[in-house]
A and B are shown apart, each in its own frame.
Chain A
Amino acid sequence: MAADRTLPWDWFPGKIPANVTVADSAYVETSFSFLLYRSERTSGVTIGRGASTYLGTMFDVGPNGRVSLGDYALVHGARIICDADVTIDDYALISWNVVVMDSYRVPLDPDARRDEVRRLAHRQPRRLEGGAPAQPVCVGRGAWIGFDSCVLPGVTVGAGAIVGARSVVTVDVEPFTIVAGNPARPIRRLTDEEMAHGR
């Protein structure tokens, strides 16, 4: 990142917002990832040492949202919808078209939802402003989320867990466990051999 907060390699004429912290050794492919960013917190997004975010990653972070990417985290094109706290821990791998969301942003009740949607069109900018309580989401250290998956509000994916492609994770995932499906179900725990391999 240059001194004026632009990215020298960027195709998009944008800047990294002032309240975003990017480690010197991290790689952010494009400032387009911050098009929907509007956090007013001291540090709305933190990107750790050696972490990288590629094209397609969108930090859709509301005024009270905060996203933390740990060291060496790899985000290959995820939609991060955050109105409270989304934590992606060190060494986590997030594949393309993944949705990680800590809020539905609309009330469940259809009548309340209509009120929120009607107000939206008369707001500037036109954005849903949290018609639902946010529940923090955490993707643990070294966890791996397969492509097209969704991680829903309130979910914690344990350290070292694997979420299969196109899964929808609705409840917590135990550490070092493989889950898959929609809704995601446990497949198995990593074996002792796998746990020892490469140590």
Chain B
Amino acid sequence: MQPPRENVHDRLPGEAPRWLHGELPVNVRAGQGTTISGDLAFKRFLSGRTPALVLGAHCTMDGVQFAVGADGVVEIGEYCYFTNVVLLCELAVQVGSYVVIGWNVTIADTDFHPIAPALRIADAIACSPLGQGRPRPPIPRQPVVIEDDVWIGPNATILKGVRIGAGAFVEPGALITRDVPARARVAGNPAEVIGRL
């Protein structure tokens, strides 16, 4: 781990968008006052799309890892506050505005590997050093949508194809496998609605 040269929290709202560890990749668009920290933020940012990552103004992305595959597109609104989030995107992850995501949360819009055992073996071969450029089989992926004003607690997990409705409150450690209604409070593994806000 590299020590940060400065603190992500010590930023002024009017400043130009910045990644504290280097130049932002060319296919990243970010609004005023938005700050990204963490030397691993773009280590697995492989998207060929332009833009591949859009961030609104006044966002604080503290230690977020944008692991975005070749076709992945991530869109994040304004005033979002993420802490050590791992964002795994092969297709589309859309996040609204005023969204807070806590420490060590994982969001994935893909299964990473096929379900069918024969395809999984083919995928293991394609991914191996002996794969020699063999193409990987198709892998299920579905967009993740997180609407405005959602709060997601630390250690939670959001899986593919899920829509989290506006204002929802995801308790720490929850595992989200299905849609969450707007203004619902959800908890558990698998997560269930435990209240309404």
Q: Which residues of A contact B (CB under 8 A)?
A: 11-13, 32, 35, 79, 81, 97, 99, 101, 104, 106, 108-111, 113-114, 117-118, 120-122, 124-128, 148-150, 152, 166-168, 170, 181-183
A contacts with B: majority SS = loop
A117: B residues at CB distance < 8 A: 79, 81, 98, 100, 149
6 nearest interchain CB pairs?
A: A110-B167, A125-B9, A121-B58, A168-B173, A182-B189, A150-B172
Q: Is the CB of B187 within 8 A of A170?
A: yes
B3: A residues at CB distance < 8 A: 11-13, 32
Of A113, A122, A148, the contact of B13 (CB 8 Å cutoff): A122
Task: Report how many residues on chain B are interfacial, defined by Cβ distance under 8 Å.
Answer: 39
Q: Is the CB of A149 within 8 A of B100?
A: no
A99: B residues at CB distance < 8 A: 103-104, 154-155, 172-173
Q: Is the CB of B155 within 8 A of A109?
A: no
B contacts with A: majority SS = loop
Task: Tell me if B166 is interfacial: C-beta within 8 Å of chain A.
Answer: yes
Of A12, A114, A148, A149, the contact of B149 (CB 8 Å cutoff): A114
Q: Is the CB of A118 within 8 A of B98?
A: yes
Q: Which residue of A lies closest to B13 (CB)?
A: A122
Task: Tell me if B175 is interfacial: C-beta within 8 Å of chain A.
Answer: yes
Q: Which residues of B contact A (CB under 8 A)?
A: 1, 3, 7-13, 33, 58-60, 79, 81, 98, 100, 103-104, 148-149, 151, 153-155, 166-167, 169, 171-175, 183, 185, 187-189, 197
How far apart are B40's CB and chain A's nearest CB, in angstroms? 15
Q: What are 28 pairs between A and B in contact, CB < 8 Å?
A: A12-B3, A32-B1, A79-B103, A81-B154, A97-B104, A97-B155, A99-B103, A101-B154, A110-B167, A113-B149, A120-B79, A121-B33, A121-B59, A121-B79, A124-B10, A125-B10, A126-B8, A126-B81, A150-B154, A150-B155, A152-B172, A166-B189, A168-B173, A168-B187, A170-B187, A182-B187, A182-B188, A183-B187
A106: B residues at CB distance < 8 A: 100, 151
Of B79, B104, B187, the contact of A118 (CB 8 Å cutoff): B79
How far apart are A86's CB and chain B's nearest CB, in angstroms? 14
Q: Is the CB of A182 within 8 A of B100?
A: no
